Structure 1
Amino acid sequence: MDDAPPRFDRRFEPRHGEAVAIGDHVRRVTARNPGPFTFHGTNSFLIGRDEVAVIDPGPDDGSHVEALLSAIGSARVSAILITHGHRDHTGAAAALAAATGAPVLAGPARVVPDGGAGERLDAARDAGLRPDVILSDGARISGDGWTLEAIATPGHTADHLCFALAETATIFTGDHVMAWSTSIVAPPDGSMAAYMASLAKLAARPERRLLPAHGPGLCEATSAAYLAALAGHRRRREAALIAQLEAGPGTVPELVAAIYVDVDGSLHGAAALSLLAHVEDLVERGRIVGDGPLSLSTRFRLA
């Protein structure tokens, strides 16, 4: 039921640098870039054996590129796929492309103007990413024994893609859905309205095995309920925001301090970005108004 909170799963053995088999078609190599937003590190996935697609080459780390190339061996790499343009996913793309000759494929990035409502709050974006191919929703990439479908899932970022592997009814979810934590949705590149629509989009698909870019996967038995719980979690945050504004106006940091009392204070900065995404959505829907442009310092009130 979506009124239950998400049950996060933090049980994960990264086995950094090793190629960990996940069935016959998939191997996972986890980069050694742990952190508060990457958990144990970025999961790069290798699809196929004789002909390989790489999903999320990971950070700019020579040892991780070497681990990927060692796992790939003599196989031909036909595609390097990017779920979204954050550096912990894209940093190794250029080195891997140079080593293998494979093209880099990604979704269309949103151009975010500087200043005002377009102030760049998302410092993780790889501004130097230059994909060889821009993928649209439903695009298919095929190799020897595998077919991947690009699924446009904006929300965490505007360019976010998930990839469905037809042969195993699996979706590689990037940062859109993770078992260990919720996803940060930070304007202007992130959008709460788009994120919620993308959750519904995945929930409507038949695939039920989900493999995120950080932490453990979700199995067929639990993924549907988990997607519903993530959506319910965001609806409760929205309701808490509206309830807090009923008590009076506030800036996003003030609202975070009142609403996120169950969250460690060191994470309040990230929480502020996600709450700003809720604010942006409610402003667009005419539910609240601000005394200035969309920003962390603007004071908001109910319309």
Structure 2
Amino acid sequence: MPHTNEVDLLENQGWDERILVCRNGQLVKTFIVVTDRCVVLVDSLINAKTASRMLDYARPYLAGTRALVVVNTHADYDHAWGNQLFAGPVASHPAPIIGSQRCAEELRSSGSATYLQEMRDREPEIFAGVQLVEPTICFEEGLTIGGGDLTLQLFATPGHTPDHIALYIPEIETLLAADGAELPYPAARAVDGLPAMRASLARMAALQPKVTLYCHAPVTIGPQLLHDNIAYFDALERHCRAALARGVPARPDQDADVIDLVGCRYEDVTPAGPMWEEVHEHYRTQGHAEQLRMMLAWLADAK
């Protein structure tokens, strides 16, 4: 999927009017939270141009004494590569950027620099001008932004990535789950990320939010997606435990059909309905198989 610098403001579908939802093409959604004291941009998108477009949507609310604040939910390119607009040597709209300590470390890493170069080579018209800028205010487990009328509680939700955070706004019982939950499922990238991700899903679900918004799911899907994601991984665990008991290896060969080995198809462990059936084929096949591989390995290692 080619990237775009276009950013749209989505029509409110019933959530609190102080939350604006932006969408960068078909890639990702980000959020603007307007409080009495500050306007908070939740993530900065893929480059300075998309961050600037997001700022344009926030600008009408920055009149008076409201301060601009930026939050990075994690260091992935579609969430933090617009940071240079707000901090660093070329910042044109200086603002504090809040993120986890792990997020800052990831943006400083050689892996992030290598990936940026790959993206520049692939799509220079989108990524040539990107400079990696880390958060300027970091925390470990939690941080609270007191906006006056609204309180933004930032808390660690590792799993999808080690640096991931989510935001809860108790006054309006609204959770911004970022990539901590997704349609059809959040993907752990390493075996040790799997239990952390499941714990993070449980922590978010325990808040019992009335409204939940995600970076990679329809705005109308609601808090039920948290429970559907939990049920997905619970079902994977059941199938993988049974497979291991039958003698399926904990680490099947790379060319093995893990879905067939375990006997766990995507459609067996996800809800019925168009939203689930129309996801990209990757999530039904390769992505699903990757989660099964990690579950097998984790169960074997946990013995």
Using structure 1 for the length normalisation, give the TM-score. 0.71
Bigger relative contact order, structure 1 or 2 (CA pairs below 8 A, ≥6 apart)? 1
Alignment partner of 1:254: what SS? Answer: coil
Distance 1:58 1:248, change over 3 A: same
Partner of 1:107: 100
Q: In 2, Cα distance between the equivalents of 1:187 and 1:216?
A: 26
Residue deviations 1:51-93, cap 9 Å, x none?
310101211262x223212212251543211111111111112
How many residues of Structure 1 are paired with residues of Structure 2 in the alignment? 252
Partner of 2:209: 207
Identity %: 20
Partner of 1:43: 29
- Is 2:258–2:293's contact at 8 Å kept on the other side of the alignment? no
What are structure 1's unaligned runs of at least 5 residues?
A: 1-14, 33-39, 113-118, 287-303
How far off its partner does 1:19 sit?
A: 5.8
Structural RMSD (CA): 3.4
- Is 2:181–2:225's contact at 8 Å kept on the other side of the alignment? no
How far off its partner does 1:239 sit?
A: 2.3
Partner of 2:83: 93
- Is 1:139–1:150's contact at 8 Å kept on the other side of the alignment? yes
- Is 2:85–2:94's contact at 8 Å kept on the other side of the alignment? no
Partner of 1:26: 19
Q: In 1, Cα distance between the equivalents of 2:295 and 2:44?
A: 31
Partner of 2:124: none
The amino acid across from 1:70 in the alignment is D
What are structure 2's unaligned runs of at least 5 residues?
A: 1-5, 120-129, 268-279
Partner of 1:195: 197
Aligned to 2:57, which of 49, 71, 93? 71
Alignment partner of 1:140: what SS? Answer: strand
- The farther-off stretch of 208-217 and 147-156 is 208-217
Corresponding position: 1:173 with 2:180: no
Using structure 2 for the length normalisation, give the TM-score. 0.71
Partner of 2:291: 274
The amino acid across from 1:71 in the alignment is Y
Alignment partner of 2:142: what SS? Answer: coil
Q: In 2, Cα distance between the equivalents of 1:252 and 1:141?
A: 46
Q: In 2, Cα distance between the equivalents of 1:168 and 1:154?
A: 24
Corresponding position: 1:17 with 2:8: yes
- The farther-off stretch of 157-166 and 72-81 is 72-81
Aligned to 1:183, which of 183, 186, 192? 186
How far off its partner does 1:251 sit?
A: 2.7
How far off its partner does 1:47 sit?
A: 0.7
Q: In 1, Cα distance between the equivalents of 2:75 and 2:258?
A: 27
1:76-155 pair list within 5 angstroms: 76-97=66-87, 98-109=91-102, 128-155=132-159
- The farther-off stretch of 51-60 and 126-135 is 126-135
- Is 2:185–2:232's contact at 8 Å kept on the other side of the alignment? no
Distance 1:160 1:127, change over 3 A: farther
How far off its partner does 1:109 sit?
A: 1.7
